[in-house]
Structure formats: C-alpha cells, structure tokens
C-alpha cells in the first residue's frame, strides 16, 4: 500500500456469492441479454419506421448520417471507461473493495462527461466553420452534437451496471426507453405537420438520449449503493487510465476490423457490389446474436473470477457456455446456408449474386464461435497490450488482403479474406490465453 494512502474499505466482507462463473448467473445473464436485445430490436425498428413517416427521405438520411457520426465519436469520448468500468466494477465487487467501487463510478462518468462536452463543442464549431453553403447540414450537426455527452455517459454508466451483473438494467434504457421516446414523439408531432425537419428530429433524439442517460446513471448509482453501501470514496485515476486507454485502443481496432470492408468494396467495386455485400453481411450478422448476448455477462464473470484468483477453476463453466454458443451458431448457420438464395432474394433479384459471400460469412461466424471470446478474455484479465498487438497486425493483414483480392474476386474474395482474418486473430489469442492464464475456452 502506498504511503499515506487510505486502506481499502473491506469492512464486514460479504460471503463470496457463487457468481464468478456459476451456471446460474451465466444462464440468467444470457437470458436477460437475449430478452433485452430482442425487445430492443423491435423498439428500434418501430422508432425508425416512425421517423421515416415523419421525415422526408433526404431528412431521414441526414438524421441517420449525423447519428452515425455521434455513435462513432461516443466511444472514444469515454476514453475506454465503457469497458474499463465493466472490468473494474466486477473486480472491486468480487474483492470487496467498496470505496474503490464507489469511486470508479463517479470518476469515470466525470471523465466521459468532460471529454464528450469538449467533443460536442468541437463538433459544433467545425460544423459552423465549414459551412460551405450547406447550412442545413451544419445546423443538423450542431443539433446532433448535443447528443454526444448523453451517449458517452450512458455507455460508461451502463458499463458499471454490467460489471455488477445487472445485464437487463444496463441495456434497457438505451435499447428500449430511448427508441420508444424518439419514435413516439416523432410520430405524435408528425400528425400535425406535413413533415419534420432534421433539426427537430435530432432535438427529439437528444431528449431520448438524455432520458436514457439519466435513467442509466440512476440505475448505476443504485447498483453501486446496493453493492457497496454508503461510505468513503477512493479513486486511482492513474491506474484507471492505464487500464482504460488500452481498452479504448482495442475498441478502435475492433471497429476498424469490422468497418473497413464495406468502404473498400464501395471504393473498388462501386455501389451495387457494396449493396450486395451489405445485405449478405446483415443476414450473417444474425448468427452473432447469441454470442453477443452471452458476452454481456461473460465480461463481468471473467473479470470477477480473475480478481478472486478463481479463473482456472471456473474455466470449465465458461467453456460450456462457449460450446452452447457454438452449437447455436452452427445450427443457425446451417439453416441460413441452406436458404441463402431465398433469403437474399427477399431483398431483390440482384442480391442473389451474394450467395457465395454469404456462405463464406457464415463460415466466418461459425469459426469465430468455435474459438470463443478470446479477445474479451484477455481484455478482462489485463492482457490488453498483447491483444492490441494481435489486433493491429490482423487489421493490417486484412487491409492488405482486401486490397489484393477484392479487385479480382469481388465480394466473394472479400468474404474469404474475412474468413482468413478470424483464424489469424484467434489462433495467437488462444495461445496467449493458454500461456498467460492457463485457460482454454475454445471448443477444441
């Protein structure tokens, strides 16, 4: 302990609950996440339908464009605390470090609010200064910039709640409350006017984000109070930055790996090929549903078990969940493979050309499920530097592969590169996890 530092608040330690890898908490967390994701998907669809009825097509396009940029900027504005909060809250709760658990919530939200407010101001300033005759777009960006602090705070506070294993409570405000407010208000206002402007729609969106962020913050405070009670607050800003910033790098690399393919296809092959690949990717993305839902609870379980030194003992239960994820992905992948052509034909005859691409993307999803969440395992156990090196190298190889293959083999070649990439990333990550943690979570 550092000289002069207050001892960690470990008074009246609670008995260790069977949550660090126990089947009951994993099952409950997966079911909660699946339910929230399912209901949230319906709510999001309804909200976007209402917006398409309330806005002209150009206005809806501008709305989606601005919110896409807000979504892209929100996670960097958290400085990585959206993931660090999951890990730190789970670890401090498992270790009984109550003062630090209280401190990490207030500190991470303050950081996210400060950085995102500066980012919102910068966005508004750039929008006004670069107004080259398209003042409508600049005003829309200024209106949308106000959403940025709400999105960042919601991500950070939700991460803390996830770390304390309240999966449904962490996701419900963003997944359900926000779209219901946005869609409901937009639809109600559209009844009395021919159409809404993009600025009005973004103002409505700000209200939805603000309400969801406020509720998430209130839930986070209640969850921390329940877990840690009242008492002193301790902070370790330097240590937390050391954990959070590499996780921000991991998030950026993950976004790069997942987001580079479509822009490159658009640049090399044009809009038609981009549309074909985009639809194939959207259909294949259904296979990731169960894995993403399971990751919501696996993160805090891994972090808590690691903090208590129980990760190896709980590895068997984690591996069982990985096998369930693989079975679900393989079964649904087989169904999508068989019906690939009719599924693509739903979108139009021109999309049937994406059958080969879709089938390779199915292979990508199944192979990724077979390895399990290796990146999440390393991120939650302070192996972030190794994870970043592997992901950076993989991103460079994927970019090179796409540039070499796509001009000749089109969208099928792009999907083949993605399949190779999932192997190049997960094989070294599996080896690193085995060597450093003594844990193997893949199905093999």
Q: Which residues lie closer than 8 Å to 30 by C-beta, 6 or more apart?
A: 290, 293, 294, 297, 321
Q: Distance between CA 75 and CA 154 in Å, rounded?
A: 10
Q: Distance between CA 153 and CA 160 in Å, rounded?
A: 11
Q: Distance between CA 239 and CA 53 in Å, rounded?
A: 49
Q: What is the pLDDT of residues 45-94, one digit of tens each?
A: 888 888 888 888 777 777 777 777 787 788 888 999 998 999 999 989 88
Q: How far is CA 132 from CA 126, 128, 311, in A?
A: 11, 9, 56
Q: Distance between CA 432 and CA 425 in Å, rounded?
A: 11
CB neighbourhood size of 12 (10 A): 8
Q: Which residues lie closer than 8 Å to 415 by C-beta, 6 or more apart?
A: 277, 280, 356, 357, 358, 360, 361, 364
Q: Distance between CA 241 and CA 251 in Å, rounded?
A: 15
pLDDT computed for residue 306 by the predictor: 84
Q: List the chain residues with pLDDT less than 50.
A: 1-21, 132-133, 135-136
Q: Which residues lie closer than 8 Å to 285 by C-beta, 6 or more apart?
A: none
Location of structure tokens 């097509």 = 57
Q: Within 13 Å, how many C-alpha atoms sit on residue 22's CB side?
A: 9
The pair of three-digit structure tokens given for residue 180, joined into one six-digit string: 């219901």
Q: What is the pLDDT of residues 216-275, one digit of tens each?
A: 999 999 999 998 888 888 889 999 999 999 989 988 888 888 888 888 888 888 878 888
Q: Distance between CA 392 and CA 261 in Å, rounded?
A: 16
Location of structure tokens 């193997």 = 440
Q: Distance between CA 407 and CA 427 in Å, rounded?
A: 28
Nearest in space to 155 (alpha carbons), one of 93, 85, 92, 202: 85
The pair of three-digit structure tokens given for residue 328, joined into one six-digit string: 């679900």
Which phi and psi angles does 235 have, rounded to 5°? -130, 150
pLDDT computed for residue 397 by the predictor: 94
The pair of three-digit structure tokens given for residue 326, joined into one six-digit string: 């693989």
The pair of three-digit structure tokens given for residue 254, joined into one six-digit string: 């993950």
What is the value of pTM for the model shown?
0.81
- Reduced to 3 states (helix: H, G, I; strand: E, B; else coil), residue 196 is coil
pLDDT computed for residue 342 by the predictor: 92
C-alpha dihedral (319, 391, 295, 79), degrees to nearest 10: 140
């Amino acid at each position: 302990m550092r000289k002069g530092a207050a001892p960690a608040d470990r008074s009246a330690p609670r008995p260790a609950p069977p949550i660090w890898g126990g089947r009951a908490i994993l099952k409950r967390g997966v079911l909660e996440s699946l339910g929230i994701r399912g209901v949230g998907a319906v709510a999001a669809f309804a909200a976007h339908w209402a917006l398409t009825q309330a806005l002209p097509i150009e206005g809806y396009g501008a709305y989606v464009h601005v919110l896409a940029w807000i979504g892209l900027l929100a996670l960097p504005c958290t400085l990585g605390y959206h993931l660090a909060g999951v890990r730190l809250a789970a670890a401090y709760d498992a270790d009984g470090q109550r003062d630090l658990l209280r401190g990490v919530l207030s500190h991470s939200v303050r950081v996210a609010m400060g950085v995102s407010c500066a980012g919102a101001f910068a966005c508004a300033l750039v929008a006004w200064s670069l107004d080259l005759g398209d003042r409508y777009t600049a005003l829309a960006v200024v209106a949308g910039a106000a959403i940025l602090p709400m999105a960042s705070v919601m991500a950070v506070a939700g991460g803390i709640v996830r770390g304390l294993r309240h999966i449904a409570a962490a996701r419900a405000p963003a997944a359900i409350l926000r779209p219901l407010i946005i869609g409901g208000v937009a639809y109600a206002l559209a009844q009395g006017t021919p159409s809404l402007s993009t600025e009005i729609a973004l103002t409505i969106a700000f209200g939805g984000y603000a309400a969801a962020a406020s509720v998430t913050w209130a839930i986070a405070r209640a969850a921390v109070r329940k877990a840690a009670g009242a008492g002193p607050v301790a902070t370790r800003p330097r240590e937390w930055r050391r954990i959070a910033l590499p996780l921000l790098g991991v998030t950026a690399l993950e976004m790069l790996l997942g987001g580079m393919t479509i822009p490159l296809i658009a640049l090399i092959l044009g809009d038609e090929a981009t549309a074909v690949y985009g639809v194939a990717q959207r259909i294949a993305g259904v296979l990731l549903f169960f894995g993403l839902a399971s990751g919501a609870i696996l993160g805090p379980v891994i972090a808590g078990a690691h903090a208590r030194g129980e990760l190896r003992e709980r590895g068997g239960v984690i591996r069982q969940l990985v096998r369930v994820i693989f079975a679900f992905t393989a079964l649904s992948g087989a169904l999508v493979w068989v019906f690939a052509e009719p599924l693509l034909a739903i979108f139009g005859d021109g999309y049937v050309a994406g059958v080969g691409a879709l089938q390779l993307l199915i292979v990508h999803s199944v192979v990724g499920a077979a390895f399990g969440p290796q990146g999440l395992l390393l991120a939650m156990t302070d192996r972030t530097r190794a994870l970043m090196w592997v992901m950076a190298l993989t991103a460079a190889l994927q970019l090179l592969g796409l540039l070499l293959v796509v001009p000749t083999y089109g969208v099928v070649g792009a999907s083949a590169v993605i399949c190779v990439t999932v192997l190049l990333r997960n094989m070294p990550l599996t080896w690193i996890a085995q060597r450093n943690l003594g844990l193997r979570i893949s199905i093999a």
